[in-house]
Amino acid sequence: MDLWASDEVHFQQHGSRCRMWIPPEIKDPVLLHAPTRKSVGYFGAVRLRDGRFVFRRETQRFNGETCWQFVRQLFRSSQVAGRRIVVISDNAPYHHSRIHKPWRQEREAASNWIFFLPIVPN
């Protein structure tokens, strides 16, 4: 059995460093930067057996369609004859999307399935 842990990450740039002259009597000035709205997102999964990493850069929003594209890529690239594939994922809403529900159910029947972590109340 191949056990995979998957998640997604989104990086945003909120400004940059600047260098300027400040009067010596002002200690630790705070300069707020305007957000640049530059961002990048990735879906990723790590095979726990050997650390193999599969990722997909996401330029749009994380949603059911983009999640489905990544999960299909993960299943295609991780298929080894005779090995069962199990993916551990969190409970983001797009992981349960109706768009790919029939596909997930078909994979469960073929012994390749996605296991969602339980929701823990606060």
Q: List CB contacts of 112: < 8 A, sequence separation 6 or more.
A: 75, 84, 85, 86
Cβ proximity of 54 and 82 under 8 Å: no
Look up residue 47 and give its two tokens: 């095979």
DSSP 60: S
| pTM recorded for the entire structure | 0.70
Q: Would strands 113-116 and 85-89 be described as parallel, antiparallel, or unpaired?
A: parallel
Q: Which residues, in sequence order, are bridge partners of residue 88?
A: 5, 115
Phi-psi region of 66 (alpha: psi -120 to 50; beta: other; left: phi over 0): alpha
Helix, strand, coil fractions of the chain, as percent rounded to 5: 25, 30, 45
Taking only the tens of pLDDT, the chain with its 122 residues reads 888 999 999 887 766 666 777 787 877 777 666 666 677 899 999 999 899 999 999 988 888 888 888 988 988 888 776 788 888 888 888 887 788 778 777 777 666 677 777 776 76
Q: Which domains does the chain have, with CATH numbers?
A: 2-116 (3.30.420.10)
Please give the pLDDT value at position 56.
95
Cβ proximity of 85 and 110 under 8 Å: no
